Structure 1
Amino acid sequence: MRPADLAREHGLSTQAVRNYERDGFIPPAERTRSGYRVYTGVHAAALRAYLALVAAHGYPAAGQIMNALHGGALDDALIVIDRGHGQLLRDRDTLASVREAVAGLPPGPDKAADSGVLTIGELARRLRVTPATVRIWESAGILSPARDPTTGYRVFRASDTRDAELAHLLRRGGYPLDRIATVVHQVRTAGGTETLSRALEDWQRRLTARGVAMLDAASLLSQYLSCSANS
């Protein structure tokens, strides 16, 4: 096969195929006497696997997986895949938690008790983000923590933690900060959750699509490994 033959199947340019070879995402091609690249079915299987991994895990992870495989480090590649599945499961758990929280919202303004007060560091650790990220959410109007009257430090009550968990979920779904602020404000005031429900349904569809993409990627990666082993 020529570079154009591999590229045509996926609507890529021939330069993109050469770049993928250069970056180690597909194996090195054989060369003719005149220096032209010659690709085989193994390269075609590698390209299909790589592009499926991009759809399932994103560009950085897909590149890491293919480079690990071509470096003979199968377990390293599997670890990257496992992390992706672990993140998907955490996202599903967070989505379920937010839905549960929203289902229990009162019909009027949020009157959550001041139990479970957290510092900014404790909240950040709970969400696996940095304190700087929490401050950005506050600056965007997503969070509005109170201040300890003695120390002046931020304190995050139960309702603030719920808002932060919701913000974290929606950020992972690709929502901009201003839109998240609108959704969180609706939840905080309990003036209507239609926007929130649409956002959660949209993120559910994204999670489902990603799960299916991971299945497709696993199948094509397995085919590539078999093809490579038999070549």
Structure 2
Amino acid sequence: MHVYRTATVAKIIGIHPNTVRLYESLGFIQKPNRQENGYRIYTDAHIAQIRLVRTGFQIEILQSGLRKKIIRILLLSGSGLIDEAINLTGEYINQIIQEKNKAEQAIRIVRQLVSETDQNESLYFSRRQAAKALQVSEDTLRNWERNGLLAERKKHRGYCIYTESDIKRLKIIRVLRCANYSHKAIFNMVRRLSYFPDENIRDLLDTPDPNDEIISVCDKLITSLQTAEENARSMLGQLHTIRTLLHSESSSKS
């Protein structure tokens, strides 16, 4: 059985030694044995557990409790409960696939809405009527407007009014927000479609503005979900490796 000091483990993984200690304190790796002088001694199983952590946090999907599930997988691995971690990773993969399907379904609905012809631009709706038609709150409409997803509303007797085309755009926004696309991704798509209505909606939603200083996971949701699924499948292989290493190390001690 190979053993390593903290600095050696950090060098192998490519992280700071304090990060190794942090993962230990968080419970993501098992407590290492210590030498008489107090130095920690790590094994190949510890290195495999750290690699699992790095894979798990490479893409952090926050929606629908997915990040909490990743943390739970890592804690199970750090506790040596590998079979439970493997089962939970399978559940995580299935949930990621569901999120991907929801994101793709939203795009199909948006394509259909975009292709529809506006019917009666002389028909106006109040904010309350628009919110009721969309089954969202008036505060949600205000939030979308503040985020630039809808242009400043016309006024009628001091009240905001919405046209049929506004309602269609709001339906598009609602569908995409329900599928967890970010405000920024929706804003970029809506802006581009207003100038280039024939552009590919999927590409617009999955391609952040290169001038954006900060890009979140949901700014390129489909790519992020695909990467998260690939990483999770890699984690399954890593967990099987950890199980083998732990069994081997346990056998060598006995």
TM-score w.r.t. the length of structure 2 is 0.64
Distance 1:198 1:106, change over 3 A: closer
Aligned-pair CA distance for 1:140:
1.4
Match of 2:127 in 1: none
Q: How many corresponding residue pairs?
A: 213
Distance 2:188 2:60 in 1: 29
Amino acid paired to 2:189: V
Match of 1:117 among 129, 133, 138: 133
Contact persistence 2:76–2:85 (CA under 8 A): yes
Aligned-pair CA distance for 1:53:
1.8
RMSD over equivalenced CA pairs, Å: 4.2
Matched, 1:226 2:233: no
- Cα shift readout 1:81-134 (whole Å, capped 9, x = no counterpart): 35532442233222322332344355686459x9x934216xxxxxxxxx9666
Match of 1:39 in 2: 42
Contact persistence 1:68–1:77 (CA under 8 A): yes
- Cα shift readout 1:9-61 (whole Å, capped 9, x = no counterpart): 22101111011111111111111111111111111121122212222556754
Distance 1:170 1:157, change over 3 A: same
SS for the counterpart of 2:58 is: helix
Distance 1:52 1:84 in 2: 14
Aligned-pair CA distance for 1:165:
1.9
Aligned-pair CA distance for 1:197:
4.0
Aligned-pair CA distance for 1:64:
2.4
Distance 2:141 2:92 in 1: 24
Match of 1:26 in 2: 29
Contact persistence 2:106–2:176 (CA under 8 A): yes
- Cα shift readout 1:69-91 (whole Å, capped 9, x = no counterpart): 44466676457535532442233
SS for the counterpart of 2:47 is: helix
The sequence identity of aligned pairs, in percent, is 21
Match of 2:15 among 3, 12, 36: 12
Aligned-pair CA distance for 1:194:
2.7
Amino acid paired to 1:100: R
Matched, 1:160 2:133: no
Match of 2:230 in 1: 212
Distance 1:179 1:86 in 2: 25
Match of 1:124 in 2: none
Amino acid paired to 1:225: R
Distance 1:51 1:85, change over 3 A: same
Distance 2:83 2:42 in 1: 27
- The residue correspondences of 1:144-155 to structure 2 (distance < 5 A) are none
Contact persistence 1:109–1:190 (CA under 8 A): no
Distance 1:62 1:82, change over 3 A: same
Bigger mean CA deviation after superposition, 46-55 or 78-87: 78-87
Distance 2:56 2:238 in 1: 9
Aligned-pair CA distance for 1:207:
3.0
Distance 1:110 1:77, change over 3 A: farther
Larger Rg: 2
SS for the counterpart of 1:194 is: coil
Distance 1:222 1:132 in 2: 48
Contact persistence 1:30–1:37 (CA under 8 A): yes
Distance 2:179 2:12 in 1: 36
